[in-house]
Amino acid sequence: MAGRRRAVGRLIAFGIVTGFVILAIVVVERVVRHPQTDDAVVTADIIGVVPQVSGTITELHVKDNQRVKQGDLLLVVDPRPYEFALQRARAEVAALDGEIEVTERRIEGQRFAVAAARASVQRMEAQLRNATDSLHRLEPLLSREFVTPDKIDQARTARLSAAAGLDEARGKMDQAEKDVGDLEALRAKRDAALAARGKAELDLDFCYVRAQFDALVVNLHTAIGAFVAPGPVPVFSLVDTRAWYVMADYRETEFTHIAPGMEAEVYVLTNPHYRFRGSVQGIGWAVNPEDQPITPGVPQIKRELNWVHIAQRFPVRIRVENPEPPDVFRVGASAVAIIRGWPADRPVATPE
């Protein structure tokens, strides 16, 4: 009887040990095939709100931690100086338009005058050449008394008169051509005035700062009356709520089971009762080991002891496919990420 009990005890113990071994194999196989980490944080794209014009805040339409929609008015920089600048730019364009119109009318009336002036120049040049040739023919004949001095004087006078007429004709032609050149200069000035007017309109529009996307207002520490200006320091920041991500640090030894496009399961510790589906967007190509920095400008990730080898961790970026309810997601919140392999249908944001 005692031997039978011992045999049953051995069978039970063997069954328990076998069960533990099988369970251990299943757990290890599952962990290896589906890498999991709790070294993960929730993140999103964040932009600093910096006005593109300087001035005093006259209106502030948001509060810290407020949700805003795309197109919502966030703040207003005093627009009066920019309204005056726009009025001045518009007046400059209008003045140039009037001046161009007057010049065009004058040129239109002078188009035939220009043609006549050119013809007159050509005619006077011909008369000058004839008078010069005539003088050159008569001057040698004076010493032989074939011509009288009066003829020479007449020829010289004709030459001088032709030269004066030519100068006058050229002056008229130059004036007509100058008017055409003035018109081109006025048109160039108008182009510059139009650019200045566009800049003034843009500056006035920049006085009204609006949300470029659905977002959360964070780090708001200002009030009406504060002076703001373009620069590196934002007035406040906006968290882009259109897309949420989890940055999960995985050991380099687990990369054989992680690839972009794979499905992931995410739990956020602000409310771990919700399970979210995500997809791997990419694996970091560069990190700075904590004990041996390589170069600035890349993230610094701690190593992890993996049996006898200290394994380096790399960030894996996971995009959450349907971040609902939205109150669960906060930038910097802790998360747990599990890589489930290539895409498969799974429930999204289902309370457990």
Domain positions in the chain: 35-46+241-351, 48-79+208-238, 80-201
Topology agreement, domain 35-46+241-351 and domain 48-79+208-238: no
Contact between 229 and 54 under an 8 Å Cβ cutoff? The reply is: yes
Fold of 35-46+241-351: Elongation Factor Tu (Ef-tu); domain 3 (2.40.30)
Tokens 């906006």, residue located? 238
pLDDT of residue 139: 56
CA distance 345 to 60: 45
Instruction: For residue 149, give the 3-state DSSP assignment.
Output: helix
CA distance 313 to 257: 14
Fold of 80-201: Helix Hairpins (1.10.287)
pLDDT of residue 128: 59
Residue 7, CA distances (Å) to 4, 12, 16, 19, 213 in order? 5, 9, 14, 18, 72
Contact between 204 and 82 under an 8 Å Cβ cutoff? The reply is: yes
Q: Long-range contacts for 28-35 (Cβ within 8 Å, ≥24 apart)?
A: 32/257, 33/257, 33/341, 34/257, 34/338, 34/339, 34/340, 34/341, 35/250, 35/251, 35/254, 35/257, 35/258, 35/338, 35/339
pLDDT of residue 2: 60
Q: List the pLDDT tens digit at each of the 352 positions of the chain.
A: 566 666 666 666 666 665 655 555 544 455 457 899 999 999 999 999 999 999 999 999 999 999 999 999 999 999 999 999 999 999 999 999 998 888 777 766 665 666 666 666 667 666 656 666 665 665 555 555 554 555 555 556 665 666 666 666 666 666 666 666 677 788 888 899 999 999 999 999 999 999 999 999 999 999 999 999 999 999 999 999 999 999 999 998 899 999 999 999 999 999 999 999 999 999 999 888 776 676 777 777 776 655 555 778 899 999 999 999 989 999 999 999 999 988 755 444 555 5
The DSSP letter of residue 145 is T
Query: What CATH code would you report for 48-79+208-238?
Result: 2.40.50.100
pLDDT of residue 101: 85
Question: 279: which 2 tokens?
Answer: 């997809």
